[in-house]
Amino acid sequence: MLSRGLLVRLSVLAGVVAGWLVGAVTGGIDPDRLTALHNAAWLGMPMLHQPQLGSSVMLGVLPAVAVITAQNVGYVKAIGRVTGRDLDGCVGDALIAGGLATALSGAGGGAGLVPLGENVGVLATSRVYSTAAYVAAAAGAICLAFSPKVTALVATVPTGVIGGMSLVLFGTVVMIGVRVWQDNHVDLADPLTMMVAGAAIVAGAGNVTIDVAGMRLGGIVWGSLLIVLGHPLLRTLRTMRSGPSANRPAN
């Protein structure tokens, strides 16, 4: 907030480095991770796994498709609001890109890929909107994946520093979402909206994790699922009870 130029663009990274240095001086870095950093090689292949197909796992993951779809759409709208552009026409491209990226990740045994709110927060904070910059960043991240030393170095960042960074970036994303609601004239005084959206915000921003049938669901996952499934269901039930006028906005 008080700087200008390049330091503004790198403010999040600068904050992480500052917290990192404080942790190093005060002994806040895990000694085991420092040992792993010392022993890690400079160059090496990432750990790859042969993909496996399991019908039970596939059925269990299937509901997550609705969540991932909601996340993609929400983040596209958030980026559009940050950049001041109408990106609704890019939603289909974003979904296709996410599917292709997940397929590529899965071919090497990786996890499913979803948009990250932290990245949207970095975009809003740095105000760097160039697509070329993010392509270069992605290429750089791929190259760094071939250095176990760099991976071990990142792992030494103290948990408190990661928490502080997440607090700022997730908070930025939440406020962007509130602005999207305001610009689209969402009635935040509607009890149904207050209940469902409020629970989802706390779950997502606080990353409230729950266990369901042996599956561990993060707050972003089940919070999004609550919005996608819970809001239409409760709105339909309210309409059936009170009539079509229940969903009409107040004058």
Confidence label for 53 from pLDDT (cuts 50, 70 and 90)? confident
Residue-wise pLDDT for 162-219, tens only, equals 999 888 888 887 888 788 888 888 888 898 888 888 888 888 777 788 877 777 777 7
State the residue for tokens 């790198």: 10
Q: How far apart are CA 79 and CA 129, in angstroms?
A: 9
How is 161-175 classified by DSSP, letter by letter? Answer: HHHHHHHHHHHHHHH
pLDDT tens track for 5-46:
888 888 888 999 999 999 999 988 999 999 999 999 999 988
- Pairing status of strand 215-217 against strand 210-212: antiparallel
- pLDDT for residue 247: 55
Instruction: Please give the pLDDT value at position 4.
Output: 78
Contact (CB, 8 A) for 77 and 62: no
Rg (CA), the chain: 21
CA distance 102 to 94: 12
pTM: 0.67
